[in-house]
Amino acid sequence: MLEGKFDESTLLKKIVDSVKDCVKLCNFNCTEHGITVQAVDDSRVLLVSLLVGQTAFSEYRCDRDVTLGIDLESFSKIIKCGNNEDYLTLLAEDSPDSVMTIFEDKKKERVSEYSLKLMNIDSEFLKIDDMEYDTVINMPSSEFAKIVRDLKNLSESLNIIVTKDSVKFTSEGEVGTGSVVLKPYTDMDKPEESVNVHLDNPVDLTFGLKYLNDIIKATSLSSTITIKLADKTPALFEYKLDVGGYLRFYLAPKFDEDE
């Protein structure tokens, strides 16, 4: 039996909304440690890896491992049925054919329950190796989101060049060219505003803005984003959950051009 209770329904709502635009169906793998999801987007380019640690729940119990094959579109609709401050509990049997979502109002005596039919979804669970990266950037997630939104007006590709004292984002298109240059910067008062660059080797990589645009849907999950880059290697874009866990996106750079 799985029983996971969130203190507020917003967390799960944000998580599902962060992913549902690029992944329609996925397996929630529930273990005693929490819930993980691995999925590729519909074009099989972007790899999504989610961990909701058991610390993210106010109560959590998972007697034996269980896999919930969920249609995120429908699940998202269900989650929106609660009020943001409601307790949200996920419930499933050991061999479930459905998952129950229960909302409880904190003050009032109001309980709502929604059961969602599960699906059988094949997916190999990929073992993702911990990698060495050439560069690790830590920056405000909202700032990264703005850069992606602004530059996607100009072309389909975003080039990222990191040197020891700057990060440069560039997009070149028909009507014009845009670039944003960030210098590492430490804000004492608001550390989440800081831009931090750890660099072993400079990198010069290009990514599809279509996919980056899916990635930034997760902006509300964390005030900062960590970007790990290495030549000819899928980049890692990570949003850490305050309460324990993360949402990670792996995206391979474009190879073909100019070399």
Partner DNA sequence: ACCCTCGCGA
Partner DNA sequence: TCGCGAGGGT
Q: Where does this chain bind a second copy (CB under 8 A)?
A: 71, 74, 77-78, 80-81, 98, 108-117, 150, 153-154, 174-185, 193, 195
84 binds, among DNA, a second copy, none (CB under 5 to 8 A by kind): DNA
Residues that bind DNA (CB under 7 A): 21, 80, 84, 146, 149, 220
Nearer to a second copy, 82 or 253 (CB): 82
User: How far is residue 196's CA from residue 86's CA, in Å, rounded to a whole number?
Assistant: 36
In contact, 5 and 88? CB cutoff 8 Å: yes
**Tokens for 209?**
């803005």
Chosen from a second copy, DNA, none, partner binding at 180 (C-beta under 5 to 8 Å by type): a second copy
Both tokens of 19, joined, read: 């992913």
CB-wise, 58 or 194, nearer to a second copy?
194
Closer CB to a second copy, residue 64 or residue 80? 80
Find the shortest distance in angstroms from Cβ 250 to a second copy: 27
* Closest approach of a second copy to the CB of residue 77, in Å: 5
* Spatial CB neighbours of 19, under 8 Å, sequence gap ≥ 6: 26, 37, 39, 48, 50, 72, 217, 218, 247
H/E stretch holding 163 reads strand 157-163
CB nearer to DNA: pick between 61 and 149: 149
Q: Which does 111 bind (CB under 5 to 8 A by kind): a second copy, DNA, none?
A: a second copy
Residue 25 binding target from a second copy, DNA, none, CB below 5 to 8 Å by type: none
Helix (H, G, I), strand (E, B) or coil at 183: coil
| Cβ atoms of residues 50 and 247 within 8 Å | yes
Least distance from DNA to the Cβ atom of residue 146, Å: 6
Cα 190-220-45 angle, rounded to 5 deg: 120
Q: Quote the CA–CA distance of 173 and 253 in Å, as a whole number.
A: 18
How large is the greatest C-alpha to C-alpha distance in the chain, in angstroms? 65
Write down the least CB distance from residue 68 to DNA, Å: 22
CB of 78 to DNA, least distance (A): 13
Query: Of these partners, DNA, a second copy, none, which one is at the site of residue 91 (CB under 5 to 8 Å by kind)?
Result: none
Nearer to a second copy, 132 or 165 (CB): 165
Q: Which two tokens stand for residue 46?
A: 């972007």
Q: Considering beta carbons, is residue 110 or 149 the nearer one to DNA?
A: 149
In whole angstroms, give the CA distance from residue 138 to residue 236. Answer: 12
Contact between 82 and 65 under an 8 Å Cβ cutoff? The reply is: no
Could you tell me the smallest distance in angstroms from the CB atom of residue 54 to DNA? Answer: 26
